[in-house]
Each structure stands twice: as C-alpha cells, then as structure tokens.
Amino acid sequence: MAQAMGFFTDTSVCIGCKACETACKAWNQLPAKDGGKPPMTGDSYDNTARLSGEDWRHVKFIEQFDEDRTNGRWLMMSDVCKHCVTAPCLEVCPTGAIIRTEFDTVVIQSDACNGCQLCIAACPFGVIDVNPVSKTAEKCTLCYDRLQAGMKPACAQACPTDSIQFGPITQLRQTAAARLTQLHEQGEKRASLYGADDSILGGLNSFYLLLDKPQAYGLPAHPTMPTRNLLWGSLSSAAAAVIIGVAGLLGLRARRLNEQAGQEKAPDA
C-alpha cells in the first residue's frame, strides 16, 4: 500500500471563499442543483446547506455574535468526508461498493452501488447522499483519480490560504500539532484538533483544527461504529423470538393436555 494520504483542514485560516467547493464541483463534474438557480438558504453566507451528492465540499459559516452584534466572531470550516480509518459506511455497505484504496482513503464505486442508502444512515458525519444523475450514493473520493496521477486533490490545490492541506497523514499530524502549539502560545486556547489521533474511529484521514467544541461546527463529539448495536440488537430479537416461540408451544401443549383430559372424562359422562 502507498502511504496513507489525507487532508488537514486548519479552520483558523479559512476565509470562507468556497474555492474548494467550486474546484471540487468542476473537477468531479458534479451537477448543479435546481438547474443552476442561485440557492438561498437564509443561513449566513451558506448557500450550499449541506454535503450532498452534488456537493462533496461544504463551507460552513457559523456566526457567534452577541444579541447586538458588537462582540462576536465568524467560524468557517470546509466540511468533507472524513475518510475514517474504521469507516462505518464501508462496514455496513451490503454490495461491497465502498472500498478502501491504496492511499487509505474511502471511495464509493458508483458502478457497484445500487442506492440502498444504508451508508447514508451509517455515516456519523452526514457526508453521503444520492447523486441525482448517477442515482448512486456519492461523496468525496479524495480525488482518487488525481492521486493515482500523482496530483493534489482539487480542493487543496485551489485553497488560497492553505486551510486545506494535503499530504501523508504522518506529516500532516506533525504540521497540525505544531500549528496547535503555535495557536496556544499566541493565546488562542480554544483551538483543538479533531480526528488527528486514533481516538475517533481509528483516526480520521481528513482531520481538523477547530476553534470551538466539535458540536459548534455540527460535528459529533464521540462518533462511533454502528455495529456497536449489532450484538444486543440481535440478542433482543432472539429473546423476543424465544419468548413468543415458547409461549406458542406451551399453548399448543396445554391445548393437547386439555383435549386428552376431556377425552378421558368423556366415557364417564
């Protein structure tokens, strides 16, 4: 396997320009929504609303302001597939369409996917959606085609502030740790890393430097594998089956005994 590659997204330098969104759509030939009509979400400068089959990058705008807007700050974050090391989508996919590549990234093979959408329900980050043209589940491929040609992913190439950095995971983790130290030394104590170690789903190959709690960015604090419920879910089902089955058989046995008793009594009557 080639080296594990990924993204380190430093949200502290994101300026919300959406060059990543545009570059991603252009390179991956993703369709426009509603025939290209300008969407109005009414949610800050966010006109993409969410990651979807048509948008594999989504810049979030989080406005943290006082009531009178005298104090406050903007949080901006370019959201994308996290390319989890233990990926819930890959785990549950019943067709084998979702694979792990030689770059340790997670890719959905569109020609194998039949659109059951279980991966959408499994993803803890709300990343996957059905693309209306291919009618299959789609998401960021970490530009698998570009990686195979030795190129940077389109979004990282386009990012003008290096908020999105691409490279080998080991190197990115060192860069992130150094940046975190720098921010802490400058007094930005709220800065933290999200997914830069193995604690979240074995590590996120697309990890973040955040300036607030993960939830403020719409990220789950402790995402887990869906199979955490497999054992107890199966046991609950089996328990119900055993109880109802035994009740049914006991009922049939009682009926047979009653009938036998009735037949024995009958000659005396």
Partner 1 sequence: MPDTFFTATPDWGWLVVGYLFIGGLVGGCFFLAAMLHLAGRPTDRPIVHAGYVLAMLGAMIGGILLVVHLSQPLRFWHMLVQSNTGSPMFKAWSPMSVGSWGFAAFSLFATVAAVGAWAEARHPGSRLSSVARRWPGAVIAAVGGALALFVAGYTGVMFSVTNRPLWGDSAWLGGLFLSSAAATAAALLAIIASWRGGGQHATLQWLQRIGAAALVVELLFLVAYVVSLGAAARGLAGVWGWALGAVLVGGVLVPLVMQSSKQATHGNPRLFMAAALVMVGGFLLRTVIVFSSSAIHVSGSGVHGL
Residues 110-149 that bind partner 1 (CB under 8 A): 111-118, 120-130, 135-136
- Tell me which stretch binds partner 1 (CB under 8 A): 25-33, 169-177, 187-195, 253-261: 253-261
**165 in Cβ contact with 173 (< 8 Å):** no
Q: Please report how close the Cβ of residue 40 comes to partner 1 at its closest, in angstroms.
A: 12
In the list 145, 234, 260, 262, the residue contacting partner 1 (rule: CB under 8 A) is 234
Three-state SS sequence of 242-253 = HHHHHHHHHHHH
Taking the C-alpha atoms of residue 192 and residue 92, their distance in angstroms, rounded to an integer, is 30
Element (H, E) at 223: none
Q: Using the 8-state DSSP alphabet, how is residue 215 labeled?
A: G
Q: Using the 8-state DSSP alphabet, how is residue 193 labeled?
A: E
- If binding is defined by CB under 8 A, does position 257 make contact with partner 1? no
- Tell me which stretch binds partner 1 (CB under 8 A): 1-9, 13-21, 65-73, 249-257: 249-257
Q: Please report how close the Cβ of residue 60 comes to partner 1 at its closest, in angstroms.
A: 5
Element (H, E) at 53: none
Q: Please report how close the Cβ of residue 67 comes to partner 1 at its closest, in angstroms.
A: 18
Of residues 155-194, which lie at the interface with partner 1 (CB under 8 A)? none
Q: Which residues, at least 6 apart from 160, have a Cβ–Cβ distance to it below 8 Å?
A: 15, 17, 19
Q: Write the interaction track for partner 1 spanning residues 55-74; mark x where CB under 8 A is met and - where it is not.
A: -----xxx------------
Q: Please report how close the Cβ of residue 238 comes to partner 1 at its closest, in angstroms.
A: 8
In the list 2, 26, 32, 43, the residue contacting partner 1 (rule: CB under 8 A) is 43
Q: Please report how close the Cβ of residue 69 comes to partner 1 at its closest, in angstroms.
A: 17
Q: How many residues bind partner 1 (CB under 8 A)?
A: 73
Q: Using the 8-state DSSP alphabet, how is residue 269 labeled?
A: -
Q: Please report how close the Cβ of residue 85 comes to partner 1 at its closest, in angstroms.
A: 16
Which amino acid, one-letter code, is at 78? S
Taking the C-alpha atoms of residue 260 and residue 249, their distance in angstroms, rounded to an integer, is 17
Q: Please report how close the Cβ of residue 124 comes to partner 1 at its closest, in angstroms.
A: 4
227 CA to centre of own chain: 15
CA dist list (Å): 161 to 16, 106, 150, 151, 178:
10, 26, 22, 19, 17
Taking the C-alpha atoms of residue 59 and residue 114, their distance in angstroms, rounded to an integer, is 29
Task: Considering the complex, state which of residue 151 and residue 225 has its C-beta at the smaller distance from partner 1.
Answer: 225
Q: Write the interaction track for partner 1 spanning residues 187-226; mark x where CB under 8 A is met and - where it is not.
A: ----------------------------x-xxxxxxxx-x
Task: Considering the complex, state which of residue 117 and residue 175 has its C-beta at the smaller distance from partner 1.
Answer: 117
Bridge partners (DSSP) of residue 129 are: 138
Of residues 73-112, which lie at the interface with partner 1 (CB under 8 A)? 88, 91-97, 109, 111-112
Taking the C-alpha atoms of residue 102 and residue 23, their distance in angstroms, rounded to an integer, is 24
Q: Please report how close the Cβ of residue 24 comes to partner 1 at its closest, in angstroms.
A: 18
Number of neighbouring beta carbons within 10 Å of residue 105: 24
